[in-house]
Structure 1
């Protein structure tokens, strides 16, 4: 645990030098993790503490992005694990088939892979810890619509946009610009979004992994359609998408809670 903590702190320091386009940015992933932790069963929470120690789940939520700064290339092969690229505006059966046709390790394959490793108590503890950190992050990635984006523009990374006059790209707007615009800390944001209605929670947590992917795919289609390249985006764009943004963060947190409750509970 001491070595793992030291490694995370070192990679945090590297982020001061190297920047990437991260899913949800650090704040968004922490919001998802915080909502999830607030919706864990008591048993799942106890088992989480046994595995990771008594700290907020949000502390670990960005580790899979931080390791992209590792200059040894130890984690280089994990980069494609954060997304899937599928053509837009296709039916759910065609979309699911496209997911299954992805030949390399991707977000679609690695979510169940990390679930399996986390659940396997015969594995070394460090491997299960790493699986948990990836899983927390990947459920967040799943709910960022541009991580279920299109191959010809790298999930919006190649689409130039202007956010309040600053040149950026579509992917980055959904990673961080929209979230940072709300001016909440991750704990404040989680409090604003977290709900107690059991029927709503049950509905959000329902469905299969493929259903969750397709819902993000449909939102990605809407984002692409309503955000032409080189758009000048500001208050009106936030007004159009704020509810969908909040929806995705909440979905990520509640669905992550479901997964962790099933494995650790």
Structure 2
């Protein structure tokens, strides 16, 4: 009886731990981009999204896709969060690759979800699932290590030391660099959410392939600076990359707003 109880406890801890290890942007990162997106919704889109989400904000629902990974029923969603590449692509090469992409990944599923949400006869439950996943995936692909290399699982296999703690390159970009700022997600949004109409127009008109290319280019720079076993100079790393990270959080939110306005506010 005691052994069975211990096994159950260990299993429960493992289930809770798995989603944290697999998250993109981490809890605060997703909420930051979600809150930014909310600030740029038009009135019609805001009303339509509220009808689907109810009292749950975009910022809060943006983490649902990570939290639900602990439920075996939703295991099939795991590969929807990223697009890994086996080499560094030029933009024309990436466009060609994506044109032939039939894998279950963030690119194919984001296009699928956009198509689903355009349907007039989508059930309420399927609409809620599709909206939650779309919000999350748009944010995910602006985290550079979600468009990184297949061989090292998007940096998960690159082990580094951060403030004398063992971690990995993916985790640093998911959460640790964001958490280093010691801001709540609303404080963070107040810090970085300053865009012009021209910026928003430029970012929103770019196709999804361009979003992925931009993220993958950043990932390639990150790889060039970090090797397995590195002990990170945290303050220098923050100085070098915080503007890049903030720009990706901001772009993710602005582009998410653009997609939602097109789907629900046109």
How has the CA–CA distance of structure 1 residues 197 and 19 changed in structure 2, closer, same or farther, with 3 Å as cutoff? closer
Q: Is the 8 A contact 1:88 1:150 kept in 2?
A: yes
Q: Structure 1: how far apart are the matches of 2:225 and 2:99? A: 28
1:168 match: secondary structure: strand
> What is the CA deviation profile of residues 98-130 of structure 1, one whole-angstrom value per residue up to 9, with x for unaligned ones?
233433211010111111222222010110011
User: Which residue in the other structure is 1:95 paired with?
Assistant: 94
- Stretch of structure 1 that moved more, 247-256 or 92-101: 92-101
Query: Quick one: structure 1 residues 208 and 55, their matched pair in 2 at CA, closer, same or farther if it must change by over 3 Å?
Result: same
Partner of 2:106: 107
Partner SS for 1:162: strand
- Show the counterpart of 2:115: 116
1:261 is matched with which residue? 261
* CA–CA distance in structure 2, aligned partners of residues 253 and 180 of structure 1: 18
Q: 1:236 aligns to what?
A: 236
Q: Distance in 1 between matches of 2:58 and 2:21?
A: 22
Equivalent pair of 2:21/2:171 in contact (CA under 8 Å) = no
* C-alpha contact (below 8 Å) 1:118/1:129 kept by paired residues: no
Write the deviation string for residues 210-262 of structure 1: whole angstroms up to 9, x where unpaired.
11110111111111111122111111111110000000000000000000000
Match of 2:6 in 1: none
Give the stretch that moved more between structures: 220-229 or 87-96. 87-96
Query: Greater CA deviation, 46-55 or 253-262?
Result: 46-55
1:179 CA displacement: 0.6
- Give the secondary structure class of the aligned counterpart of 2:28: helix
Question: What is the CA–CA distance in structure 2 between the aligned matches of 1:85 and 1:101, rounded to whole Å?
Answer: 14
* Greater C-alpha radius of gyration: 2
Match of 1:247 in 2: 247
Conserved? CA contact 2:35–2:253, under 8 Å: yes
CA contact (8 A) 1:178 1:238 kept: yes
Deviation of 1:151 (Å): 0.7
1:189 corresponds to: 188
| Equivalent residues of 2:25, 2:143 under 8 A apart | yes
Conserved 8 A contact 1:61-1:133: yes
Determine the structure 2 residue equivalent to 1:3: none
Deviation by residue 1:122-159 (Cα, 9 ceiling, x = unmatched): 01011001100000100111100000011110000000
- Number of equivalenced pairs: 251
* TM-score normalised per structure 1: 0.90
Counterpart secondary structure, 2:161 = strand
CA contact (8 A) 2:118 2:263 kept: yes
Paired position in structure 2 for 1:41: 42
SS at match of 1:152: coil
Aligned CA RMSD, in angstroms, stands at: 1.6
**Structure 1 Cα separation of the partners of residues 243 and 195 of structure 2:** 18
The aligned counterpart of 2:157 is 158
Conserved in 2, the CA contact under 8 Å of 1:88 and 1:217? no
Bigger shift: residues 50-59 or 162-171: 50-59
On the 8 A contact 1:86/1:98 being kept in 2, the answer is no
Question: Does residue 145 in structure 1 map to residue 156 in structure 2?
Answer: no
What's the offset of the Cα at 1:205? 1.6
Q: Which runs of 4+ in 1 moved over 4 A?
A: none
